Amino acid sequence: MKAHIIYSVALFGLTMQACNNDSTTDTIDSETETTTTASGSSSTEMSGSMSTTSNYVDLNTNQPVELIWDDENDRAINRATNQPVELYINTATRDTIYGPGYIVNNHIIRTNTGNWLLDETKIKREGDELKIKKDGMKFKMEDGEWKMKTDDGKIKSDGDELKIKSEDGKIKVEDGKTKIKSDN
């Protein structure tokens, strides 16, 4: 049973590192329209200019947009207007992306005026740092490194390295090699 939990946590961690959640759920009430997806990873496709194989939509204008990457300010810029794009959708992956490249699916709200904003009740921003707390889970991302803590253990990713700790043992993935230590 303990080995099963370790392998489940490892699979979850590898999935978090390798894939993006592309599901969306819309909830509408009289005050706001909320789009929610549990994710908090960083989009790494951005360097210099944006990928030409992906299509982007500015979330606040709902119009297709050609984006370029501003390395100096670490954000996406609308090529036509030379203005920053705060929230946009990568239509190839169906991810909602916030300014510095953070995937923020399920963590945005639509205001009564029709604009989309980060849901500050779910996400805390301090400079380039992003923190998400939800239902016994904490997620933190800063400088390309992310950490997640749950009641069952911890997961940490820094570049190509992944570490998973639980009460049953530890898993480390580095340079394509996996090491497993079991407390059994």
Asked if the structure places residue 145 within a domain, the reply is yes
Rounded Cα gap, residues 150 and 136, in angstroms: 6
Q: What is the mean pLDDT of the chain?
A: 73
Select from 43, 24, 42 the least CA-distant residue to 110.
Answer: 24
Q: Are 54 and 159 in contact (CB under 8 A)?
A: no
Owning domain of residue 115: 21-154
pLDDT in the model for residue 4: 42
Percent of the chain at pLDDT exceeding 90: 25
Coil vs helix vs strand at 33: strand
DSSP 143-162: TTEEEEEETTEEEEEETTEE
Q: Which of 5-9, 60-64, 96-100 has the highest mean pLDDT?
A: 60-64
Q: What is the pLDDT of residue 47?
A: 45
Q: Where are the beta strands (DSSP E) in the chain?
A: 25-28, 33-36, 56-58, 63-65, 67-70, 75-78, 87-90, 95-98, 102-103, 108-110, 116-118, 123-126, 129-134, 137-142, 145-150, 153-158, 161-166, 169-174, 177-182
Please state, in angstroms and rounded to a whole number, the distance separating the CA atoms of residues 99 and 24: 19
Distance from the Cα of residue 48 to its chain's centroid? 20
pTM above 0.75, yes or no: no
Domain-located, residue 70:
yes
Given this model, what pLDDT does residue 156 score?
92
Name the more confident of 33 and 144.
144
For 31, the token pair is 């005050």
3-class SS letters over 51-68:
CCCCCEEECCCCEEECEE
Residue 69 lies inside a defined structural domain of this protein: yes
> Per the structure, how many domains does the chain have?
1
pLDDT, residue 50, reads: 53
For 54-74, write each residue's pLDDT tens digit: 589 999 899 999 999 888 887
| Res 11 pLDDT > 50 | no
Is residue 142 domain-resident?
yes
Residue 75 forms part of a structural domain: yes
Residue 143 in any domain: the answer is yes
Would residue 14 count as lying in a domain?
A: no
183 or 154: which carries more pLDDT confidence? 154
- pLDDT tens digit sequence for 117-172: 888 777 787 777 878 877 778 888 887 788 989 888 999 988 788 999 998 899 99
Q: Is residue 89 part of a domain?
A: yes
Residue-level pLDDT at 58: 93
